[in-house]
Structure 1
Amino acid sequence: MTKTVLITGVGKRIGLYLANAFIQQGWQVIGTYRSHYPSIDALAESGADLYCCDFTDNLQIQHFIEKVLAAYPQLDCVIHNASLWLPDNADLANSDIMATMMQVHVSAPYQINLAVAPLLQAAEQKSNIIHITDYVAEKGSKKHIAYAASKAAMENMSLSFASLLAPKVKVNSIAPALICFNEGDSEQYQQKARNKSLMQQVGGEHEMWDAIQYLLCSHYITGRSLPLDGGRHLK
């Protein structure tokens, strides 16, 4: 039977890479995106089931959940990758910045996890929820306080859902530092970023894929956070 994975935020970067990798492995991919990119059309042509959903809007989240519940009898994995990176000096009131960060990184995954729990429980083998958090969830951030706090809350949520859904569903977090550069990042910026790691490099998308495969293959690990930071904590 074809396995099914739900990945949030598949329009670009890590989410897009993961969606394509799962498709190549023969999985059915359900994906969400907020903004339409050419990559979305390419994913659809590859067989992904895609939904436009802005996670700052609870109504859109509920509509998305209803569509998934109506279309799928089970899920094998949910990967919460959708993210929004607002600095604390963004052109919003401080309370709005915090509310937005918590909405995208905590409330949306919380609602989705609770709603699709029966689908995960219905999987033939142990199923998985994976929260993509961030290195700053443990370290904090002077310029992205709300973002770091919301990612820390997301990481903590893994503990509660791991307890709630065991033993059928494993729930873990992956906490990456910089995994890949954006197109147009200057060489000066790239070198500065590399220097923050003991390994003097960024992880690359395949590092995330390998970490996810490690968690999927395990029959034992749950309620944990896997750091992908190149030894930044020792710098």
Structure 2
Amino acid sequence: MTSPIIITGVGKRIGYALAKHLLAQGHSVIGTYRSHYPSIDKLRVLGATIIQCDFYDNVQVQGLIDQLSQYPKIRAIIHNASDWLADSSQTYTASEVIQRMMQVHVSVPYQLNLALASQLQAGAEEEIGASDIIHITDYVAEKGSAKHIAYAGSKAALHNLTLSFAAKFAPEVKVNSIAPAMILFNQGDDEAYQQKTLAKALLPKEAGNEEIIDLVEYLLNSRYVTGRSHHVDGGRHLR
């Protein structure tokens, strides 16, 4: 069996699309999810190993680490799991908002990367740059966001992890981040909202999951690209 690719947050959107694509390419896929969606059952049918884990629960996170540590070799980890809380949340205090954003976007990727370092290095089969860590960040990681400070700050920290782990895990493991903007609208987003959002980019179109999938494929196949943030935002970071 090929060394697995781990993808966090496979329940919907890009995580689900990535998992489905990589399975179709013949990869062994391990996916994590927090909330159940019909897509989870579909991935199981396609052959994915699926693990439920609430990243806000440290006991569950440690359980996930223990399970993944049983694999002798890992081809890649794609940190896709994400959450969003407004700074003005009516449910959480400001302290809780920043703690939760840092937990899911920084603490869990940090723990997984460190815990699975030897498996990633083994997965490279002694070839330079043959294993991967990919962090899905956001274009606001470098641009900042006055409206969503906790979210943007946590994604910026994840971007910094990209730089640090790239230096730490070389030469066997490449570490990159992908920084998308709005690539896929939600059901219910009205036409006015969509047009307003598209106008914020230099390339005003809905990119779709394929742009991310193609970039992931490129990074997995590359042997000489590491420590970089790859914007998939239609030039929105330049506005």
Specify if TM > 0.5.
yes
Q: Please tell me the residue identity of whatever aligns with 2:25.
A: Q
Q: Which runs of 5+ in 1 are unaligned?
A: none
Contact 1:84 1:101 in 2 (8 A): yes
SS in 1 for 2:69: helix
- For 1:75, the equivalent position in structure 2 comes to 74
- For 1:64, the equivalent position in structure 2 comes to 64
Contact 1:130 1:172 in 2 (8 A): yes
Q: Which runs of 5+ in 2 are unaligned?
A: none
The within-5 A match list for 1:116-195 is 116-123=116-123, 124=125, 125=127, 126-195=130-199
The within-5 A match list for 1:84-103 is 84-91=83-90, 92-103=92-103
SS in 2 for 1:20: helix
SS in 2 for 1:11: coil
- For 1:19, the equivalent position in structure 2 comes to 19
**What is the alpha-carbon distance in structure 2 between the residues aligned to residue 140 and residue 8 of structure 1?**
24
Report Cα offsets for 1:49-91 as digits up to 9, x if no partner: 0111011111111101111112x21111100000001110112
Per-residue deviation at 1:32? 0.5
The within-5 A match list for 1:45-56 is 45-56=45-56
Report Cα offsets for 1:189-209 as digits up to 9, x if no partner: 111111111111122100001
Per-residue deviation at 1:167? 0.1
SS in 1 for 2:50: strand
Q: Please tell me the residue identity of whatever aligns with 1:186.
A: D
Per-residue deviation at 1:2? 2.2
Report Cα offsets for 1:125-184 as digits up to 9, x if no partner: 410000000011111112210000000000000111111110000001111111111112
- For 1:198, the equivalent position in structure 2 comes to 202
TM-score, structure 2 as length reference: 0.95
Q: Please tell me the residue identity of whatever aligns with 1:100.
A: R
Structure 1's consecutive aligned runs of 4 or more residues displaced over 3 angstroms after TM superposition are none
SS in 1 for 2:178: strand
Q: Please tell me the residue identity of whatever aligns with 1:80.
A: H
**What is the alpha-carbon distance in structure 1 between the residues aligned to residue 131 and residue 141 of structure 2?**
25
Contact 1:131 1:158 in 2 (8 A): yes
Contact 2:140 2:237 in 1 (8 A): no
**What is the alpha-carbon distance in structure 2 between the residues aligned to residue 21 and residue 172 of structure 1?**
20
Per-residue deviation at 1:3? 4.0
* Identity across matched positions, percent: 59
**What is the alpha-carbon distance in structure 2 between the residues aligned to residue 63 and residue 55 of structure 1?**
11
Q: Please tell me the residue identity of whatever aligns with 2:220.
A: L
Does the alignment pair 1:230 with 2:234? yes
Q: How many pairs are equivalent?
A: 234
TM-score, structure 1 as length reference: 0.97
Q: CA RMSD in A?
A: 1.0
Contact 1:202 1:230 in 2 (8 A): no
SS in 2 for 1:51: strand
Per-residue deviation at 1:233? 2.6
Q: Please tell me the residue identity of whatever aligns with 1:174.
A: I
